[in-house]
Chains A and B, each alone.
Chain A
Amino acid sequence: MFNFKKPRHKLHIADENDLRLSDLKPGEKGRIVEIGGSENFRHRLIEMGITRDAEICVDKYAPLRDPMELIVKGYHLSLRGMDAQKICVERIA
């Protein structure tokens, strides 16, 4: 039988200097460049509409600074800062 291992290729690995979703301030908008993290995490996000090139807007942070509220594809969702750090974005006006 065949074993389906983890992906054999390497994705574009974001470097330290890339802008992360967690770097955006409330009211700022970004475009998704790359989603890191575990396979399950990536796919959960993609299924929820956080797809490559999707526009995402940081609405606000929770009273205790974490998690953050985002608007994507016309609906609101919430992510923890540690997870948002795995998402590379480019800032758009």
Chain B
Amino acid sequence: MNFNIAIAGNPNCGKTTIFNALTGARQRVGNWPGVTVEKKSGQYNYSDIRFDVIDLPGTYSLAAFSAEETVVRHYLEQDEAQVVVNIIDASNLERNLFLTTQLIELGKPLVIVLNMMDMAHEKGLQIDADTLATLLGAPVVPVVGRTGEGMDLLKEKILRVSTEISMKSRFIDISYPRDIEIEIEKLTHLIKRDDESHKQSRWTSIKLLESDKQTRDEVRIHPDGADILKQAKNSIERIELIFKDTGRAIISHARYGFIQGALRECVVESLVDSVDYSRKIDRLITNRWLGLPIFGLFMWLMFKLTYDLGSIPMDWIDAGLISLMNFISALMPESMFASLLVDGVIGGVGAIAVFLPNIFILFFIIAVLEDSGYMARVAFIMDRVMHNIGLHGKAFIPMIMGFGCNVPAIMGTRILESRRDRILTVLINPFMSCSARLPVYVLVAGAFFPDNAATVIFSMYVLGIVAAIASGKLFSRTILKGMSKPFVLELPPYQRPTLRSLILHTWERGYLFIQKMGTVILVGSVIIWVLGYFPRDVQVERDYQKERMELVEDYDYQMINLGTKFNKSVQKDRQEYHSEMIAYESSSSYQELHHQFQQLQDDLQNKEALELYRLRQQEIGDITEQKWIGRVGKIFEPIVRPLGFTWRESVALITGFVAKEIVVSTYGVLFGVGEDIDEGSQGVISGLRSSGMTPLVALSFLVFTLLYTPCLATVAAIKRETGTWAYTIFSIAYSLGLAYLLAFGVTYFGGMFNWLS
């Protein structure tokens, strides 16, 4: 036997804390079908009965304004949930009860939970729960979610409301002004013919008077729909005539009237000398002068912790992966499967796995900011700035996070309430230059602008911000116009987050990252590996084997010559000056000759190694050109030629789709340095310089790298958060287009004025 329980309540009422306290760690996070609203479900057992719990998104009302409200409304109007548990912040009763009035009218068996009783006491509020229960017609359970106080009683009440018929039938009606009641009566009279219960028909009538679109659509398909809608239209006209306001406003006001009446009877506000701690903290944190510097400090700390603290386990993972690769290479003979496993799977997925610590730390910090209530203050402080791009203040957080990695940043857009804001933030986020692009900047700027590398790199970051702002303005005036919601933001009291909920939050989001990104990156890495591995037998025009042998022969000959020359010099020296000396070998003149000889020998050997290495570079380059990856590069070469790019850049950029860092390792492969290089690698730098790339083209290449789609993981995140392929494909196309346009601009106008050629 089991019951379905839905938890409903305002945002910031401690809903999730109660949900966690009820279900423990046994919970799943998914999305509601069709919308990117998180759906959390879990379960618990109480007296041998299983309770399946759904944590509905926090809403202030059931008006079906936002995606969240629609989800809640839709779910509650279905028959799935047998009991609704309404969580109320006891320290903020009046506004929290607004949703309750609607839940009462909705007619589901209800348990009301007065959460945060401790804070209510601190505020000097004495709440008579029994009287409140009588007035609302539903059991009221006072609890303190954070300490778990009252949870057993809550489980008991949920059980009783679920199982005992008598508990369900105590519903009351919220009473409205007489003139409204008359219209409700007229409507219910009509609707009731459809064989609906009193509760349901009253709910429908009230929603009709509120001009609720969803209800109108539902009524329309009823047999008497036309009559009912006609009556509703007349009723609304009458109400507007009498009250000089819309039905909806009057009904909302009446609900507040009912709440105020109820509160007068069951709440005693003692004039204790209560201190509003939150307000005191805010005197400092959102202070006119200190607010911004403090926010800056927090952001800096967030960055610092994410990347510095994250780099420690990052090194461990890196070391672990390398030893794993070596272990497998040693264990298995060289084969296609071994290469796939080591270079393709471990190399590719490992490239993402090393970011896991950063991502988990970042999510943990975000959970702290959210749970403590600081996130709302961020929105408050930064709204003026973000409003310029048509965004909500909170959107600043994902933008800043983008400098680290776009993937968690895009996933972080979930903190935004409106879908339009989320999509806009997701679309401009990739322009924030993530840390994976830095190795490319360092390599290319180091090779072509050794004296101004820092300036070039910094200007890339600035260009990214400019592109984000300009695109934001463009989108908010074109494709995402007019969907903006008014900025009405609650600033909830500060709270000490519980470790349990922080860990849960971090894990939920981090796990999604592992799951989704792992699969995409895996597939992408294997594809790149296949492109670079096949076809196996590649014909190269130049006979490298012969050249290599000639080279070695040549050096061997030179070496012998050098030896002969040395012997001759020694003989001459001995005859001329030291014929009488027995221990010639210890004389200073021999020592000097010998030293000279050794130096020449070393020089020769180094020269040979270098020439062999260059030859090998050229060979690998030639082979890669013949591999599928090179052929793909050749195919796209005509497209990127106007930018001054060759097939090498085209290959590097294509592989960069998987992840931007791969641009560097691709160059490593193309110049035969091997994948195991870092951005300071001399081989690649000399290769790039000798490939005929001009500094201007290098700059254009950097611009392109900055602006085009960051990586496959980002694409997956965009798809996940926007929920549609349309926006995902738009994002890819837009960023590619912008990258091409600006890179072309650099090459073309730079070429016109002969800059950096």
Q: Check A40/B65 contact, CB under 8 A, given A2-B229, A11-B244.
A: yes
Residues of B contacting A18 with CB < 8 Å?
A: none
Partner of A75, one of B63, B95, B248, B387: B95
Does B595 have its Cβ within 8 Å of any Cβ on chain A? no
* Contact present for A41 and B486 (CB under 8 Å): yes
User: A2-14 CB contact bits vs B (8 Å, 1 = yes)?
Assistant: 1010011101100
| Chain A residues touching B, range | 35 or more
Residues of A contacting B233 with CB < 8 Å?
A: 2, 4
* Contact present for A63 and B240 (CB under 8 Å): no
Q: Check A47/B291 contact, CB under 8 A, given A76-B278, A79-B488.
A: no
Select the stretch in B282-290, B600-608, B746-754 that faces chain A: B282-290
Partner of B244, one of A12, A62, A75, A83: A12
Give residues of chain A (1-59) contacting chain B, Cβ–Cβ below 8 Å: 1-2, 4, 7-9, 11-12, 37, 39-49, 51-52, 59
* Contact present for B383 and A62 (CB under 8 Å): yes
User: Residue of A at shortest CB range from B393?
Assistant: A67
* Contact present for A4 and B216 (CB under 8 Å): yes
Residues of B contacting A41 with CB < 8 Å?
A: 486
Does A90 have its Cβ within 8 Å of any Cβ on chain B? no
Q: Check A7/B240 contact, CB under 8 A, given A1-B226, A39-B246, A51-B252.
A: yes
Residues of B contacting A11 with CB < 8 Å?
A: 244-245
* Contact present for B490 and A77 (CB under 8 Å): yes
A51 to B384, CA, bound (A): 26
Residues of A contacting B488 with CB < 8 Å?
A: 44-45, 48, 77-79, 83
Residues of B contacting A59 with CB < 8 Å?
A: 279
* Contact present for A4 and B384 (CB under 8 Å): no
Chain B min CB distance to A10 (Å): 9
Residues of B contacting A65 with CB < 8 Å?
A: 384
User: Residue of A at shortest CB range from B376?
Assistant: A78
User: Residue of B at shortest CB range from A53?
Assistant: B253
Partner of B383, one of A39, A48, A66: A66
A83 to B287, CA, bound (A): 22
Residues of B contacting A51 with CB < 8 Å?
A: 252-253, 256
Does B385 have its Cβ within 8 Å of any Cβ on chain A? yes
Residues of A contacting B278 with CB < 8 Å?
A: 76
Partner of B246, one of A7, A67, A83: A7
A1 to B253, CA, bound (A): 30
Does B60 have its Cβ within 8 Å of any Cβ on chain A? yes
* Contact present for B383 and A1 (CB under 8 Å): no
* Contact present for B240 and A9 (CB under 8 Å): yes
Partner of A69, one of B60, B226, B286: B286
* Contact present for B211 and A4 (CB under 8 Å): yes
* Contact present for A67 and B383 (CB under 8 Å): yes
* Contact present for A63 and B256 (CB under 8 Å): no
Residues of B contacting A7 with CB < 8 Å?
A: 240, 246
Does B431 have its Cβ within 8 Å of any Cβ on chain A? no
A8 to B236, CA, bound (A): 10
Chain B min CB distance to A2 (Å): 5
Give residues of chain B (72-105) contacting chain A, Cβ–Cβ below 8 Å: 91-92, 94-95, 98
* Contact present for A46 and B279 (CB under 8 Å): no
Residues of A contacting B253 with CB < 8 Å?
A: 46, 51-52
Residues of B contacting A67 with CB < 8 Å?
A: 380, 383-384, 393, 487, 489
* Contact present for B252 and A63 (CB under 8 Å): no
A87 to B320, CA, bound (A): 62
Does B573 have its Cβ within 8 Å of any Cβ on chain A? no
Does B528 have its Cβ within 8 Å of any Cβ on chain A? no
Residues of A contacting B282 with CB < 8 Å?
A: 69, 76
A65 to B288, CA, bound (A): 8
Q: Check A77/B489 contact, CB under 8 A, given A43-B249, A62-B383, A66-B383.
A: yes
* Contact present for A48 and B216 (CB under 8 Å): no
User: B302-321 CB contact bits vs A (8 Å, 1 = yes)?
Assistant: 00000000000000000000
* Contact present for A48 and B60 (CB under 8 Å): yes
Residues of B contacting A46 with CB < 8 Å?
A: 249, 252-253, 256
* Contact present for B383 and A63 (CB under 8 Å): no
A77 to B489, CA, bound (A): 5
Residues of B contacting A63 with CB < 8 Å?
A: 286-289, 291-292, 381
Residues of A contacting B246 with CB < 8 Å?
A: 7, 39
Chain A min CB distance to B124 (Å): 11
Residues of A contacting B94 with CB < 8 Å?
A: 49, 73-74
* Contact present for A76 and B95 (CB under 8 Å): no
Give residues of chain B (623-677) contacting chain A, Cβ–Cβ below 8 Å: none
Residues of B contacting A61 with CB < 8 Å?
A: 288
Residues of A contacting B384 with CB < 8 Å?
A: 62, 64-67
Does B220 have its Cβ within 8 Å of any Cβ on chain A? yes
User: B460-502 CB contact bits vs A (8 Å, 1 = yes)?
Assistant: 0000000000000000000000000111111111000000000
* Contact present for B220 and A1 (CB under 8 Å): yes
A63 to B220, CA, bound (A): 50
User: B183-221 CB contact bits vs A (8 Å, 1 = yes)?
Assistant: 000000000000000000000000000010000100010
* Contact present for B229 and A78 (CB under 8 Å): no
Does A60 have its Cβ within 8 Å of any Cβ on chain B? yes
Additional A-B contacts beyond A48-B488, A73-B95, A75-B490 (4; CB < 8 A): A46-B253, A60-B286, A75-B491, A80-B487
**6 tightest A-B CB contacts, nearest first:** A64-B384, A63-B291, A76-B491, A78-B489, A47-B61, A46-B252
8 A-B pairs with CB atoms under 8 Å apart are A2-B229, A4-B236, A9-B241, A48-B490, A51-B256, A61-B288, A63-B287, A83-B487
